Amino acid sequence: MNKLFKTTIIGILFLLVPVFAMAASVTGSIQGYQCVTQGIVCPIGKEDAVAAAENLFVLLVDASKGDYYFIPNVSRNVLVRHLNTQVTVEGTVNAKMKSINATDISAAGKKVWSKNLEDAIYKDIWGGGSPSAK
């Protein structure tokens, strides 16, 4: 009886632990981090200048609330190609760190990046996995 009670308590405590990372699909627009933190949308029609001035790009989910996510496992080069574009990012969301470990990115219903595709390209070119996997 005592052992069952302890097991039950441990199980309940385990369920009460908050989960900070979960798989999700998040839609928003790719914006420069400086634009987002200043509360502005990156200038439309001036994407090349913004790309040159910005070092970091994020997924802006709700401009009115300033909600955004970093996408640390996706190259800046990939994100900058989709500046001011509505995209859907699938992956593991870490709400505490405001980040998404992306597995797929789609724009206008078309997959424009995936972790699997990137890994396959690394394998084809260099005969191994991505440098981040090493």
Supply the range of the domain harboring residue 93.
22-128
- Residue 100 lies inside a defined structural domain of this protein: yes
Count: domains in the chain: 1
What's the confidence (pLDDT) of residue 40? Answer: 87
First to last CA, the chain: 49
- Residue 2 lies inside a defined structural domain of this protein: no
Phi and psi, residue 38, nearest 5°: -95, 0
The model carries a pTM of 0.77
- Residue 17 lies inside a defined structural domain of this protein: no
Distance (Å, whole) CA 51 – CA 80:
6
- Residue 93 lies inside a defined structural domain of this protein: yes
Write out pLDDT tens, residues 1-60: 566 666 665 555 454 445 556 888 999 999 999 999 999 888 889 989 989 999 999 999
State both tokens at 131. Answer: 């440098």
Beta carbons of 68 and 31 less than 8 angstroms apart: yes
What's the confidence (pLDDT) of residue 80? Answer: 95
What's the confidence (pLDDT) of residue 13? Answer: 46
- Residue 55 lies inside a defined structural domain of this protein: yes
- Residue 4 lies inside a defined structural domain of this protein: no
